[in-house]
Each structure stands twice: as structure tokens, then as C-alpha cells.
């Protein structure tokens, strides 16, 4: 039995489906029973647990062969990231009580970076979970290709604003399907201690590459346009963010190159899904 958190999302859903397709039992960990109904119909057990509820998480993580752990993303955390501190407390309490034999935890490229930025939340998570006496594998994934969902509408109009800069700088990106498939494979492996696996797509992608792919898919000219750095935080605040600085710092990290895999491009595993495949899916759905 494998407990899968985040099962209603893109990555967690792929993890669960891959395990089910392999004939392995899955426990769907959801916050809302209604969202677990479809997985119950597929033959999954359903466990109700919020990521901050240590008692419910203990029950969800007990008597399993492994846990896939995905922290709900928080793009606008309070200063000092108190939210992830509370989550880490709940998770470590639950894991120490349940003692699952192994954990595959979705982390991020750049989790090892010491510079302040939004991804520091996952750095804190790695530090907390990595100190536990349970085998844990941190799957550090590149920038999600599916982030380009925000670009579909402007691409239809011909100009896509880009915070990734310069426009010809290759960025490590990966499809969520590749993340989920690898996570499912890792859950079926055995290891001891703390393990790090880094994953990106088959090749790095520039913002201009995204524009070229959109132009091909939409059959119309599409170009990227840099968003001036000095406008970012004011723009994010206008969009409703209360603490926009960490997001801007994260983008600086990608653009300046200090958000990178710890083992570099040569040391990362490579997925099979290219950017055009993902963009075609995004365009078809919106």
C-alpha cells in the first residue's frame, strides 16, 4: 500500500495512476472526501488528512510500503515562512509516529540555495524531513513546463510577458507527467538514509523557444517580451500578493543562475516530454 498526497493534482495523480497501473494498492490522501470519490472508484483506499493535521497524517501514513509527499504550493507566504514551519511540525510528528519504510518527497531545483527566495520553503522542508530516521528521497524537479498555462491567453494575442530573462537563456524545465512517473518508480526502490534525485526535461528551454512553439501550435506570430525587473514587486502586489519579494527573488535566482541543480545539468536525470507536447496540451485545454 502506497500513501499518495496531492493526488488530486497533476503530479500526485500521475504517481497514483502509475502505481495502480503496476497493480499496486494506493491510499489516496485527500482533504475533502468528495475529491476522493473518483479514486475510491478506481479501487483506492481514501484517507482524510490536512497537511497541518499530525494525527490524521499519522493514520494516513501508517501500515504502508511508502509515502509520496507533496506540500501544497504557497506562492505568497508570510515573511519568515511560518506556514512551512507549521507543516514541517505536523509532518515530522506524523512520520515519527507512523514510521513509513520510505518517503519520496517532491522538492525543487535550487532547494540547496542559501539565498533568500520563495523556494526556501522547500529547503526548510528538506532540512526537517532529512533529519528523521526514515529513508527519504527528495525529488528535486525543475521549473514546471505547465507554468506556461498562464501564457496561453497572451500567446493567442501574439505577445507573452516573460519574467524569465534574458529571452535566450536556457532554463531547466520538466513536465509534471515525467515527475509523477519517476516518483512512482522511486517509491518501488529501496535505499537508506537521505537521497536526492534531480529531474529536468530532455533539453533546457528558453523563453524564445516557448514563443516559437506557441507560434507553431497557434499558427500565428508569437514573441516574448521581457517584464522590467523594477516593476515586478509592484505588479505582483497589484495582483493581490501580500509578500511579493520572495517570488521576485526566486525569479532572480533562475535568471542569475544560482537556482540550479546541486549536481548541475550533467548530473540531473532527463524526462522524455518536450515543451511542445506540453504546450499543445495547454492550448487544447484553454
Pairing of strands 66-69, 143-144: unpaired
* CB neighbour class for 227 (10 Å; exposed up to 12, middle 13-18, buried from 19): middle
Residue listed under C-alpha cell 497557434: 218
In a domain, 96, yes or no: yes
Cross-strand pairs, 223: 159
Does position 230 have pLDDT exceeding 90, yes or no?
yes
Q: Left if phi > 0, otherwise alpha if psi is -120 to 50, otherwise beta: which for 43?
A: left
Look up the pTM and report it. Answer: 0.97
pLDDT by residue (tens digit) across 120-174? 999 999 999 999 999 999 999 999 999 999 999 999 999 999 999 999 999 999 9
Name the residue among 119, 166, 117, 141 with its Cα closest to residue 68.
Answer: 141
The DSSP bridge pattern shows strands 45-48 and 136-141 to be unpaired
Q: How far is CA 228 from CA 29, 115, 174, 195, 231, in A?
A: 41, 22, 26, 38, 6
- Domain containing 187 equals 2-145+174-201+260-271
Mean pLDDT of 17-22: 97
- pLDDT at residue 231 greater than cutoff 90: yes
Instruction: Tell me how far apart the alpha carbons of residues 86 and 152 are, in angstroms, rounded to a whole number.
Output: 35
Residue 78, pLDDT above cutoff 80: yes
pLDDT in tens, 22-76: 999 999 999 998 999 999 999 999 999 999 999 999 999 999 999 999 999 999 9
Strands (E), 99-215: 103-108, 136-141, 143-144, 159-162, 173-174, 194-200
Block residue for cell numbers 543562475: 257
Q: Which of 30-39, 79-88, 170-179, 244-253 has the lowest mean pLDDT?
A: 30-39
Is 59 within a domain? yes
> 152, 285 in Cβ contact below 8 A?
no
pLDDT value at 207 more than 90: yes
Whether 99 shows a pLDDT value over 80: the answer reads yes
CATH code assigned at 12: 3.40.50.720
Cell of 283: 492550448
Structure confidence at residue 286 (pLDDT): 76
Residue appearing with cell numbers 507553431: 216
In a domain, 276, yes or no: no
pLDDT bin (cut points 50, 70, 90) of residue 232 is: very high
Three cell numbers written together for 134: 526514515
Q: Is there a domain that residue 108 lies in?
A: yes
Q: Above pLDDT 90, what percent of the chain? A: 98
pLDDT at 205: 98
The per-residue pLDDT for 164 is: 98
CA distance 10 to 14: 6
Please report, rounded to a whole number, the percentage of residues in the chain having pLDDT higher than 70. 100
What pLDDT sits at residue 270? 98
Count the domains in the chain.
Answer: 1
Q: Is residue 68 part of a domain?
A: yes
Average confidence score pLDDT of the chain: 97
Q: Determine the Cα–Cα distance for residues 33 and 40; give it in Å rounded to an integer.
A: 10
Contact of 125 with 107, CB cutoff 8 Å: yes
Amino acid at each position: 500500500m502506497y500513501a499518495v498526497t496531492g493526488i488530486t493534482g497533476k503530479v500526485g495523480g500521475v504517481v497514483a495512476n502509475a502505481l495502480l497501473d503496476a497493480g499496486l494498492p494506493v491510499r489516496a490522501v485527500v482533504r475533502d472526501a468528495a475529491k476522493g470519490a473518483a479514486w475510491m472508484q478506481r479501487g483506492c483506499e481514501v484517507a482524510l488528512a490536512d497537511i497541518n493535521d499530525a494525527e490524521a497524517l499519522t493514520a494516513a501514513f501508517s501500515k504502508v510500503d511508502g509515502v509520496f509527499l507533496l506540500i501544497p504550493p504557497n506562492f505568497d507566504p508570510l515573511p519568515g515562512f511560518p506556514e512551512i514551519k507549521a507543516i514541517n511540525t505536523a509532518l515530522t510528528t506524523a512520520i515519527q509516529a507512523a514510521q513509513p519504510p520510505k518517503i519520496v518527497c517532491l522538492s525543487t531545483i535550487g532547494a540547496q540555495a542559501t539565498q533568500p527566495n520563495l523556494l526556501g520553503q522547500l529547503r526548510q522542508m528538506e532540512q526537517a524531513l532529512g533529519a528523521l530516521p526514515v529513508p527519504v528521497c527528495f525529488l528535486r524537479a525543475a521549473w514546471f513546463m505547465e507554468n506556461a498555462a498562464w501564457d496561453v491567453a497572451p500567446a493567442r494575442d501574439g505577445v507573452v510577458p516573460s519574467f524569465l530573462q534574458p529571452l535566450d537563456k536556457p532554463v531547466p524545465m520538466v513536465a509534471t507527467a515525467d515527475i509523477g512517473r519517476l516518483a512512482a518508480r522511486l517509491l518501488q526502490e529501496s535505499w537508506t538514509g537521505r537521497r536526492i534525485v534531480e529531474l529536468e526535461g530532455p533539453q533546457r528551454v528558453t523563453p524564445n523557444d516557448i514563443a516559437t512553439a506557441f507560434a507553431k501550435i497557434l499558427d500565428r506570430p508569437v514573441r516574448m517580451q521581457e517584464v522590467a525587473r523594477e516593476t515586478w514587486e509592484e505588479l505582483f502586489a497589484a495582483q493581490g500578493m501580500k509578500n511579493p519579494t520572495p517570488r521576485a527573488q526566486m525569479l532572480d535566482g533562475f535568471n542569475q543562475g544560482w537556482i540550479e541543480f546541486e549536481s548541475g545539468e550533467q548530473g540531473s536525470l532527463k524526462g522524455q516530454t518536450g515543451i511542445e507536447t506540453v504546450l499543445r496540451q495547454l492550448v487544447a485545454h484553454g
